[in-house]
């Protein structure tokens, strides 16, 4: 057979021009990307080590420091989704054999536990029902019992719709010589969060929720305490006694690429997703323009407006404690007698609008409505309520 003859023909499907559907993205993410951010992402690609790119990365770093309310030098965006940042956090903080404690009140604590287990950590979890959260006493007692080096907590539990209180937990962790790791993928920009003041040692987020950037980049920051690592005497500047299990996510390398290690030369580590960084920079610029506090307040007010509308329709909110309701993602008790899948499909088909069902422990129990960043408006709420009303009218109600 001639080497020049291809046996796999060009696929017919690729001859069709692709146009993405226009859709209201009111599920738990990704959210709609506004034209200004799409336009930034469509700028010409430059090199990942070009000086202009390094400047963009420096702008992104400042934007993340603002969004996280931190002065941490070790603040970057990882190339990848929220899961990539989760692994980056865990892989750079834990070695095989060390103890990790995860707080499980939804799927994210379960995922964090699995990641830590895969690198050979000794993992324990505290577990509460979907829709619940932990008291400081419960956390204190579990830390005293298990003595982990790292404690994982989700700020915005997008699978259950709970925003976890954070005040005081950092101090409790430090009392037990434990680092405090927080997931704010679904809450950053939508609910108050103060990395430095709340004693958070590692914090990560995602680009596709309140920031309204495309999925694929994930802010992350490590505290000075973590970097100096009072507890294990390992430090990036001394080249990590702790050797990350992942080359790609090794903060020794990433810190250099992001100019955080004080070294004059930047060394190629990977080709950054240039266009995604343009978009991320623009999304952080928008958040900075609007102001964090305004953004927090708007998300709260819009969520409360949604809660009121949902209850007025005779539906129930899944999270009973008002203060624990996550302003970005609202969980509604799946309407009794209906098949939740029929509701979400009906709304997608007839209203061109995404809301979703549950995830992990909340599957079958809830509908989830995410209104994040530019989607957080009363006009969006009105659209969601109208779609829900319509679905309840036309979807099949079982007679049992
Ligand atoms: N943590 C939370 C709280 C999330 O809501 C999500 C995304 N749904 C993730 C982590 C994972 O992010 P990604 O899907 O971008 O990997």
Give me the phi and psi of 18, to 5 degrees please: -100, 130
d(C-alpha 342, C-alpha 396), whole Å: 8
Give me the phi and psi of 337, to 5 degrees please: 90, -15
| CA of residue 82 to ligand 1 center, whole Å | 5
Nearest atom (ligand 1) to Cα of 184? 3
Nearby residues of 148 by Cβ (< 8 Å), 6 or more positions away: 98, 99, 100, 101, 124, 178
Query: In this structure, what token pair is assigned to residue 303?
Result: 């969520």
Report CA-CA distances (Å) from 126 to 78, 123, 274, 290, 325.
28, 10, 40, 37, 21
Same fold, 24-30+291-394 and 35-287: no
CA 101 to mean position of chain CA atoms: 20
Handedness of CA 347, 190, 375, 66 (dihedral sign): negative
| CA of residue 28 to ligand 1 center, whole Å | 9
Nearest atom (ligand 1) to Cα of 108? 1
Give ligand 1 pocket residues (Cβ under 6 A). Answer: 28-29, 81-83, 108, 154, 156, 158, 183, 185-186, 206, 215
Give me the phi and psi of 163, to 5 degrees please: -100, 120
User: Tell me, what's the pLDDT at 229?
Assistant: 56
- Note the CATH number of domain 35-287: 3.40.640.10
Tell me the percentage of the chain whose pLDDT exceeds 70.
95
d(C-alpha 31, C-alpha 370), whole Å: 8
Nearest atom (ligand 1) to Cα of 207? 15
pLDDT interval class at 10 (50, 70, 90):
very high
Q: What is the number of residues in the chain? A: 400
| CA of residue 206 to ligand 1 center, whole Å | 7
What DSSP line would sit under 202-238, residue for residue?
A: EEE--SSSTT-PPSSEEEEEE-HHHHHTTTT---GGG
Global ipTM = 0.99
- pLDDT-wise least confident of 97-101, 188-192, 237-241, 349-353: 237-241
| CA of residue 204 to ligand 1 center, whole Å | 10
| CA of residue 101 to ligand 1 center, whole Å | 19
Sequence ranges of the domains in the chain: 24-30+291-394, 35-287
Choosing from 30, 31, 83, 88 the residue with most ligand 1 atoms within 8 A of its CB, the one to mutate for a pocket test is 83
Q: Which residue has the higher pLDDT, 400 or 271?
A: 271
Residue 373, burial from CB neighbour count under 10 angstroms (0-12, 13-18, 19+): buried
Taking alpha carbons only, the member of 358, 334, 325, 344 closest to residue 387 is 344
SS3 of residue 366 by DSSP: strand
Q: Name which residue sits closest to atom 13 of ligand 1, judged by CA.
A: 82
The string of pLDDT tens digits covering residues 196-237 is 999 999 999 999 999 999 999 999 999 988 877 544 444 444
Q: Annotated binding site: which residue ranges?
A: 368
Q: Annotated binding site for substrate: which residue ranges?
A: 368
- Note the CATH number of domain 24-30+291-394: 3.90.1150.10
Q: What predicted TM-score, i.e. pTM, was given to this entire model?
A: 0.96
The string of pLDDT tens digits covering residues 373-386 is 999 999 999 999 99
């Amino acid at each position: 057979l001639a080497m020049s003859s291809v046996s796999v023909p060009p696929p017919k499907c690729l001859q069709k021009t692709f146009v993405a559907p226009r859709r209201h993205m009111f599920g738990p993410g990704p959210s709609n990307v506004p034209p200004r951010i799409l336009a930034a992402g469509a700028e010409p690609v430059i090199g990942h080590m070009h000086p202009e790119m390094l400047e963009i990365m420096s702008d992104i770093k400042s934007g993340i420091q603002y969004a996280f309310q931190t002065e941490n030098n070790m603040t970057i965006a990882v190339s990848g989704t929220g899961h990539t940042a989760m692994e980056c956090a865990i892989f750079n903080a834990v070695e095989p054999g060390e103890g990790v404690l995860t707080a499980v009140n939804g799927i994210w604590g379960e995922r964090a536990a699995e990641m830590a287990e895969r690198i050979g950590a000794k993992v324990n979890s505290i577990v509460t029902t979907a829709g619940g959260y932990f008291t400081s006493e419960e956390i204190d007692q579990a830390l005293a019992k298990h003595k982990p080096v790292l404690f994982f907590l989700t700020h915005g539990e997008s699978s259950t719709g709970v925003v976890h209180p954070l005040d005081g937990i950092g101090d409790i962790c430090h009392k037990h010589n434990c680092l405090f790791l927080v997931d704010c993928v679904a809450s950053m920009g939508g609910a108050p969060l103060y990395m430095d003041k709340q004693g958070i040692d590692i914090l990560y987020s995602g680009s596709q929720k309140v920031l309204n950037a495309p999925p694929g980049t994930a802010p992350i920051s490590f505290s000075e305490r973590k970097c100096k690592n009072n507890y294990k005497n390992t430090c990036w500047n001394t080249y990590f006694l702790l050797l990350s299990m992942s080359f790609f996510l090794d903060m020794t390398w990433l810190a250099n690429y992001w100019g955080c290690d004080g070294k004059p030369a930047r060394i190629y580590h990977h080709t950054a997703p240039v266009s995604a960084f343009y978009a991320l920079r623009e999304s952080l610029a928008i958040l900075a323009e609007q102001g964090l506090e305004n953004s927090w307040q708007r998300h709260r007010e819009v969520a409360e407006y949604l809660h009121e509308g949902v209850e007025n329709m005779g539906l129930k909110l899944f999270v009973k404690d008002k203060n624990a309701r996550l302003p970005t993602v609202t969980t509604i008790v799946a309407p009794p007698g209906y098949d939740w899948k029929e509701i979400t499909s009906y709304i997608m088909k007839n209203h061109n609008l995404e809301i979703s069902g549950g995830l992990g422990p909340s599957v079958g129990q809830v509908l989830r409505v995410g209104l994040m960043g530019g989607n957080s408006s009363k006009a969006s709420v009105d659209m969601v309520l109208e779609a829900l009303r319509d679905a309840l009218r036309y979807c099949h109600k079982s007679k049992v």
